[in-house]
Chain A
Amino acid sequence: MSSSAPGAAVVEAASAQVPDAAGRFGEFGRRFVPETLMHALEQLTDEYARAEADAEFHYELDDLFKHYVGRPSPLYFAKRLTEKCGGARIYLKREDLNHTGAHKINNALGQALLTVRMKKGRVIAETGAGQHGVATATACAHFGLPCVVYMGEEDIRRQKLNVFIMQTIGAEVRPVTSGSKTLRDAINEAMRDWMASVDDTHYIIGSVVGPHPFPMMVRNFQSVIGREARQQCLDQVGRLPDEVIACVGGGSNSAGMFYPFVEDRSVELSGAEPGGRGTRPGEHASTLSYGVKGVLHGSYSYVLQDADGQTQDVHSVSAGLDYPGVGPEHSYWKDTGRVRYNPVTDAEALEAFHALARLEGILPALESSHAIALALKTAGRRKPGDVVVVCLSGRGDKDVYEVARVEGLSI
């Protein structure tokens, strides 16, 4: 067993050949978990490697993607949005058109299929806004697996619609009453469940966070987004895009969108972080823009912590971006300079929500609205011949109550 302390890596150009066998993305990632989980993580790493190398596994997953999810999702030229910006042509990767309305289903189905392969009979998951919970409940219904979803009490209150959907699909939603009663506490509680149930239970984590192999595995399942978008851009535009934009909370849709472009050096990659209502601690969740290097939820990455290593409270108008950590590969991309991360405020995201609704007849999720807002800023500064591809990671139906509340309206 050999290791060096985190914090002493040489910065090189970003590679797509990460992580290494120890789960390192440059210096980031790895495993900081109780010994009780180590064997399960080693086992999962091996099982996933076998599945990755098995054509049958890919065949089954591709078949589900095509017939159950409705993939490939379209790459759509947003003509009126482009005209409004008066700059680059804006294309939207329509993950909002997937079954269950967001990109989360890609990962949930991949991991559920893996659960069946591993012959584990029970699934647990955490959820913040509820999109990953709904996706996991859906995948479990498809495979006939019992499913428990941990969800913060505060999020349950904010996202009643998704709670109802999960229960209707047959999942048990367990309220989490500890700590901040939001996503990070739901992850803690799911990890605690897993500590005691690891023999017969798989934990379908919802983002590119947590200990190795989760960040790598979730990225790979989500990479279908970027692979499709890259090919669609070549087919529809005739060349690669100039810039690719996605929102970053934990970072799963963005990791899946960016990863297939990492070694296309001509393509600029931009992440939109939840800038909330200010730059002070507690007012935002822009982990990469304002955070420090640290350990959270089993992984070494950028985090929002105080000087003692205690996790700070976060805020975003979007419940799905409201997370004080970020996937380790994003930290690697930040430090190598491969991806630029920009905070987008609540107000900018809400403006983009309305702009896309009115100009294109598409109601984006508040998460995705952050990416749209960043695209509106950057496309206007670009030449008319340029091409910007934005990941529209989810649809906004779930957010209408929250938008109405923020704007003082009632539904």
Chain B
Amino acid sequence: MAFMPFITAGDPDLAMTKRLIGELAACGVDLIEIGFPYSDPIADGPVIQASYTRALGRHLHVHEIFSAVKEVTGGKSAIGGDKEQGKSAAVPRSSAESSPTPVTVSPVPPLIAMVAYAIIFRIGNEAFVGAARDAGFAGLIVPDLPADEADDLAGLCGKNGLELIPLIAPTTTSDRTRRIIATARGFIYCIAVAGTTGVRDQLPPELSQQLQWLKSQTELPLAVGFGINRPAQVDELRGLADGVIVGSAIVKQVAAISTDGLAPDQSLANVATLARAMVAATHRTK
């Protein structure tokens, strides 16, 4: 399985964001989601929302995020082969014996921008996708852009070598799921719980059933997010999912710099501890 942590760009500042990307890369994570702070994030719980508010309170701008990411990537996306088949090199299907560990041309794993459509639309679909490509992003997740409205952006992403990652929720009907995966590329982001991002005590029992059904419908890797925060949950998902996403639990460690006066070095160490444990749990074969 792949481990895919989420961090908020610019919390508490972009210097820390760059250090976090380096630290997570050193821990061996398979992909990093970079959250673009937005003023009205409907899908996010209190932890990520507060990180967005802090970053915007310091007047973070989108072009600054792109510049910072470009410094880390050198403008090159780490995503590798298999693109013609629409598969993500970052998240190999766990069941596919023939898919080896991803080949990364850079020590930085693929970076995916998690960004509200309000931001993309205002900057312009084409301009935003171009800037994301130039910064070295491998793809986009747009949590408030349902597949029904995504054709234009998906086309632009395709032309620019980016993957537009589709989301499937516990409430998505099988009809909708079939329509969504028909045009999907990269991997499928499976939302584990109906609700917002944030730590949950347990994953819903219906999740494994939904993942099993999804696996029968698509060749694409399945990554599970929302509510996941610890290695024990990885075992529940082993054999069902190809990757897990952890957001709030990591953002919380970084938030402590602002909320509890934690030293940035200590925050980085805490993030690394969690990331290493998650990498160990996900990369274990049994």
A residues apposed to B, CB below 8 Å:
1-6, 22, 30-40, 178-179, 184-185, 188, 191-192, 195-196, 198-199, 292, 294-298, 300, 303, 305, 307-311
Q: Which residues of A contact B27 (CB under 8 A)?
A: none
B residues apposed to A, CB below 8 Å:
38-43, 45-46, 49-50, 53, 56, 61-62, 116-123, 125, 143-153, 167-173, 176, 179-180, 183, 191, 193-196
Is A297 within 8 A of B40, CB to CB?
A: yes
Is A198 within 8 A of B171, CB to CB?
A: yes
Compute how far the CA of A297 lies from the CA of B193 in the bound complex, rounded to whole angstroms: 21
* Given A31-B146, A32-B144, A34-B144, CB of A39 within 8 Å of CB of B122: no
Q: Which residues of A contact B170 (CB under 8 A)?
A: 36
Compute how far the CA of A311 lies from the CA of B116 in the bound complex, rounded to whole angstroms: 12
Add 9 more A-B contacts to A35-B146, A196-B194 (CB < 8 A): A33-B144, A36-B170, A36-B171, A36-B191, A184-B40, A185-B40, A195-B42, A295-B122, A297-B40
Is A294 within 8 A of B149, CB to CB?
A: no
Compute how far the CA of A303 lies from the CA of B121 in the bound complex, rounded to whole angstroms: 12
* Given A36-B169, A39-B172, CB of A3 within 8 Å of CB of B149: yes
* Given A308-B62, A308-B123, A310-B38, CB of A22 within 8 Å of CB of B194: no
Residue picked from A34, A35, A198, most chain B C-beta under 10 Å:
A35
Q: Which residues of B contact A296 (CB under 8 A)?
A: 40, 118
Which single member of B42, B61, B151, B169 contacts A298 (CB below 8 Å)?
B42
What are 19 A-B pairs with beta-carbon distances under 8 A?
A1-B179, A1-B183, A3-B150, A3-B151, A4-B152, A5-B153, A32-B145, A32-B146, A35-B167, A36-B195, A185-B40, A188-B41, A196-B193, A196-B196, A305-B122, A309-B38, A309-B116, A310-B56, A311-B118
Which single member of A33, A178, A294, A305 contacts B53 (CB below 8 Å)?
A178
Q: Which residues of A contact B40 (CB under 8 A)?
A: 179, 184-185, 188, 296-297, 311
Compute how far the CA of A400 lies from the CA of B170 in the bound complex, rounded to whole angstroms: 47
Which single member of B122, B153, B179 contacts A309 (CB below 8 Å)?
B122
Compute how far the CA of A310 lies from the CA of B37 in the bound complex, rounded to whole angstroms: 9
Which residue of A has the minimal Cβ distance to B116?
A309
Q: Which residues of A contact B143 (CB under 8 A)?
A: 34-35
Is B42 within 8 A of A31, CB to CB?
A: no
Which residue of A has the minimal Cβ distance to B120?
A309
What's the nearest-Cβ distance from chain A to residue B64, in Å? Answer: 10
Compute how far the CA of A184 lies from the CA of B230 in the bound complex, rounded to whole angstroms: 33
* Given A34-B43, A178-B46, A296-B40, CB of A6 within 8 Å of CB of B121: yes
Is B118 within 8 A of A35, CB to CB?
A: no
Is B118 within 8 A of A294, CB to CB?
A: yes
Which single member of B120, B149, B169, B180 contacts A34 (CB below 8 Å)?
B169
Is B53 within 8 A of A179, CB to CB?
A: yes
Q: Which residues of A contact B149 (CB under 8 A)?
A: 3, 30-32
* Given A3-B148, A3-B150, CB of A38 within 8 Å of CB of B176: yes
What's the nearest-Cβ distance from chain B to residue A211, in Å? Answer: 9
Compute how far the CA of A342 lies from the CA of B152 in the bound complex, rounded to whole angstroms: 34
Q: Which residues of A contact B125 (CB under 8 A)?
A: 5
Compute how far the CA of A120 lies from the CA of B180 in the bound complex, rounded to whole angstroms: 28
